[in-house]
Amino acid sequence: MSDDILVMRGITKRFAGVTALHEVSLTVRRGEIHAICGENGAGKSTLMKVLSGVHPHGTYDGDILFEGEPCAFDGIRDSERRGIVIIHQELALCGQLSVAENLFLGNERSRRGFIDWNRTNHEAQALLDRVGLRENPTTPVNDLGVGKQQLVEIAKALSKEVSLLILDEPTAALNDDDSQHLLDLLDGLRNEGITSVIISHKLGEVIKIADTVTVLRDGKTIETLPAEGLSEERIISGMVGRDLEHRFPPRTPDIGEEVLRIEDWTVHSPAQPDRVVVDNATLSLRRGEIVGLAGLMGAGRTELAMSVFGRSYGVGISGRVVKDGQEIDTRTVRGAIRHGLAYVSEDRKKYGLNLIEGVQRNVSAAALDKLANRGWVNENEEYTVAERFRRSMGIRTAAVSTPTGTLSGGNQQKVVLAKWMFTDPDVLILDEPTRGIDVGAKYEIYSIINDLAAQGRAVLVISSELPELLGLCDRVYALSEGRITGEVSREEATQERLMQYMTRGQSS
């Protein structure tokens, strides 16, 4: 047997006139962890779909050699039979079913058509032990966090005699602890001889875990590099095709008066009303200032933001929101908007956009009254506004009427930002503004955030990526278990220091 478990040669894949992959080659050595990096739209996911048979043989050009044999997969079952298992970014689990049922979904442990529950749960327990998940196999998947669900997916892959495991953005939705556990697990699987291909935007992780890195750009293989001694900057330069010397656009802060203060803010969980989610938090924002809010997943960052913004989250809320020295009423979303607040959600598809409508109707959605006269909307004004934002923010879309569901992540995020810019807010709360966005588009979003601050607005950025907070913010608050545990200025801020605050007071 050769050293290469997988060889893909000259893969070309076209979609209705668009070339998604052009003569892409990929060679994966047996037993390694091979990372694939590239901007959104570079063709990473398409390549993995070709490999796993989602795009069946015949719909692409080129050869796939697995274990030295040419492959012609007709569907995902074909590739799974050969031991290639793909775990998609959006987890494919049935939340109402138990862990064990999910593990053997489509592959049930049965006798004459009836489920053998003893065997199902017994084998499930063994698989859970293998991935280090201490949960009962009969627990419904919905009761687990995202991190544990990810482990269930991997256990499911292991149940299928996997020899090549493909993970598409496995840690995108995980906090640092869960990410670390997942990476350790991959490391363990490598020792067992399982080869992994991971697609990831988190370059720090890639360098830590991978043996080899292949960079794709615009549907072409740019380079394959050993991960040893590789720097993030080196990978990025391959991904963007130019030296991105500074990942953050330059900015000279011009900070004015305090514009918003949140005082003694306490929020309880709607599911368990006696559980405190945000605990007596106080923070302030000044005009022209970009303030970060750091915290691990579950620290209460989004809950804090959404409870302030029209009580969109939580029960038993107490505290004061003071703007320009006056207490304001933000109990409804309309009230919050009227007082100049804007909240850009972390999940733009679920909470930000009407995906079946175009840029025009999305941009106007939060301030339709501004375009209306006695309840009637002036669509021509609306069009003009949408066109203006399309140009000024560089939103790449065929027309302002094209459904936003067809746009790339970066462009969708620009549409959401445009929607809130049109409300002319004094304070913007941006929750994970660059999640799932490629490097080039991130730079554009950072530029927009800088512009917003330069116009005298205050911006609160919530982010899981500490380098992003350090690169962008004038000041960073750290949140841990709902409490503000620290506040550091740009000069004092380091990842280590923030991480200390973020983990302070954690009962472990």
Binding site for another protein (CB under 8 A): 240, 244, 249-251, 309-310, 312, 332-334, 336-337, 343, 345, 350-357, 361, 365-366, 368-369, 372, 375-377, 379-381, 383-384, 387, 390-394, 396, 398-399, 419, 440, 443-444, 447-448, 450-451, 454
**Residue with smaller CB distance to another protein, 111 or 350:** 350
Distinct helix (H) and strand (E) counts, the chain? 16, 24
Closest CA to 49 of 13, 81, 102: 13
**To the nearest whole angstrom, how small is the minimum distance from the Cβ of residue 375 to another protein?**
5
**To the nearest whole angstrom, how small is the minimum distance from the Cβ of residue 18 to another protein?**
14
Locate 376 and state its tokens. 């009637």
**Residue with smaller CB distance to another protein, 110 or 401:** 401
Q: What is the distance, to the nearest Å, from the Cα of residue 310 to the centroid of all Cα atoms in its chain?
A: 25
Local structure of 174: helix, strand or coil = coil
- Residue 406 CB neighbours (<10 A): 12
Local structure of 253: helix, strand or coil = coil
SS (H, E, C) 285-343: EECCCEEEEEECCCCCHHHHHHHHCCCCCCEEEEEEEEECCEECCCCCHHHHHHCCEEE
Q: Are 79 and 40 in contact (CB under 8 A)?
A: no
Length of the chain: 508
* Pairwise CA distance, residues 119 & 140, whole Å: 18
**Residue with smaller CB distance to another protein, 186 or 321:** 321
**To the nearest whole angstrom, how small is the minimum distance from the Cβ of residue 203 to another protein?**
17
**Residue with smaller CB distance to another protein, 423 or 503:** 423
**Residue with smaller CB distance to another protein, 108 or 232:** 232
* Pairwise CA distance, residues 470 & 459, whole Å: 14
- Residue 408 CB neighbours (<10 A): 17
**Residue with smaller CB distance to another protein, 286 or 390:** 390
Question: 250-269: buried (b, 16+ CB within 10 Å) or exposed (e) per residue?
Answer: ebeeebeebbbbbeebbbbb
**To the nearest whole angstrom, how small is the minimum distance from the Cβ of residue 345 to another protein?**
6
**To the nearest whole angstrom, how small is the minimum distance from the Cβ of residue 84 to another protein?**
27
**To the nearest whole angstrom, how small is the minimum distance from the Cβ of residue 416 to another protein?**
9
**Residue with smaller CB distance to another protein, 208 or 246:** 246
* Pairwise CA distance, residues 408 & 88, whole Å: 18
**Residue with smaller CB distance to another protein, 261 or 311:** 311
**To the nearest whole angstrom, how small is the minimum distance from the Cβ of residue 440 to another protein?**
5
**To the nearest whole angstrom, how small is the minimum distance from the Cβ of residue 456 to another protein?**
13
